[in-house]
Amino acid sequence: MLSWIHIRKPNHTRKKILLKEQDRNACKCQQLTTFSVIYKYRIVKQINSARGTILKYESVIKPTPLSGNIKMPLKTKQPGQFIALLTGDTVRSPLKRHNQNIIVANEHDDILRLIATTQFDLILLDLTVNGHSRQSELIDYLKDPLGINSKTPIIAIIDRKEKPQNEKQYPVEFDDWLIKPITEERLNEILDIWQTKASVFNYTQIILGKTKNNPHLALTIFEKLFEELPLQLIQIKDALENSQYDLAREVTHKLNGSVSFCGLLEIRQPANDLEIRLLNNNYADTHQHFLTLQQCILNFTRHQKAILSILGQS
């Protein structure tokens, strides 16, 4: 008997899923007890015990690739990386901007598989395709508290005739809505806004975690960091231009320690690369590594006002 099996952690019993090694890799987990997964399996063995029911599954078919020109789900996101899921036919050609930040999926099963295996920063859900019942199923999966996208912002894409008169008339499942047709310029604008929101949120959560949720201490640390980073960049740049490599290494080491303490991995990596080259007297490409470090710091400091405002209100 072949069927789509939706496995959830039960409230009254514990189901342990025993899978072959290749099936574990396909599902990206060893025990499906913490989030929902959609996959084709056949029950081959059932054992009843006092601790509950143990079900052994085997894969009916090999995992099939996602249909269409869809990027495969990411196993891990890079530090500071923004990933959005766009469903439906809103985008018919690659975006000139944000092309690396967006995964487009049209098929219902593809969308289910993506939201079960990839944590997104934003989901744009086209409600004009796939039918009402299937859209309700997608929303249920997205809002499943055990799912990895349960807190991901969702923007609904609707037809003009379906536009509500005011925000109170729109379902609470959505954080915003867009009306078709959507131009590439408008889509880029939306992605810019939510990418900024995601970045600011991530930065504040990182420093609050480092300070054990002490907003006053977090604010003090980031105020000092925003003050020091531009000055340190100037010092490193001047030292490199004047071949004062020991000074450049000292300042880079101090900067590296500060951003490492604050959990800013996207800055720590280029700072670490530059420091290692200075430490090993490898000066040939230090300028290029400095430019990379400078850009990463600028990407962070452009959110200064928003970050300090949120921490000040916490």
Q: Which CATH number fits the domain that encloses residue 240?
A: 1.20.120.160
| pLDDT, position 281 | 94
Per the structure, how many domains does the chain have?
Answer: 3
Residue 179 lies in a domain: yes
- Check residue 26 and give its pLDDT: 42
The model's pLDDT over 236-258, given as tens digits with 9 standing for 90+, comes to: 999 999 999 999 999 999 999 99
CA–CA gap between residue 189 and residue 291 (Å, rounded): 27
Does some domain include residue 102? yes
Handedness of CA 169, 150, 265, 287 (dihedral sign): negative
33 CB-near residues (< 8 Å, 6+ apart): 9, 14, 15, 16, 17
Q: What is the average pLDDT across 184-197?
A: 90
Q: Is 160 left (phi over 0), alpha (psi -120 to 50) or beta?
A: alpha
| 8 lies in some domain | yes
Segment 295-314 mean pLDDT: 93
110, 22: one domain: no
For the chain, percent of residues with pLDDT exceeding 90? 43
pLDDT at residue number 47: 44
Question: Final residue of a domain: which of 167, 197, 227?
Answer: 197
- 296 lies in the same domain as 239: yes
Mean pLDDT, range 232-239, rounded to an integer: 98
Q: What is the mean pLDDT of residues 34-62?
A: 38
| Nearest partner of 123 among 131, 114, 136, 132, judged by Cα | 114
Using the 8-state DSSP alphabet, how is residue 162 labeled?
G
Is the pLDDT confidence value at 52 over 50?
A: no
Same domain, 103 and 189: yes
Residue that is last in its domain, among 197, 221, 241 = 197
Q: Which domain holds residue 47?
A: 3-59
Q: Is residue 116 part of a domain?
A: yes
Contact 57, 43 (CB under 8 A): yes
Are 93 and 189 members of one domain? yes
The answer to whether residue 205 is domain-embedded is no
Residue 273 lies in a domain: yes
Q: Which residues contact 308 (CB under 8 A, 6 or more apart)?
A: 219, 222, 223, 226
Same domain, 191 and 289: no
Report the distance separating Cα 269 and Cα 170, nearest Å: 43
Do 151 and 236 lie in one domain? The reply is no
Residues 114-143, mean pLDDT to the nearest whole number = 84
Q: Taking 80 as the threshold, does the pLDDT of residue 207 lie above it?
A: yes
Give the closest residue to 229 by CA, choosing from 305, 182, 296. Answer: 296
Q: Which of 163, 197, 231 is the last residue of a domain?
A: 197
143 plus 243 within the same structural domain: no
Residue-wise pLDDT for 71-115, tens only, equals: 444 445 666 678 999 988 776 666 767 767 888 888 888 888 898
CA distance linking residue 57 with residue 59, whole number of Å: 7
> Based on the domain organization, do 217 and 191 belong to the same domain?
no
Confidence of residue 175 (pLDDT cuts 50, 70, 90): confident
Residue given tokens 């499906």 in the structure block: 32
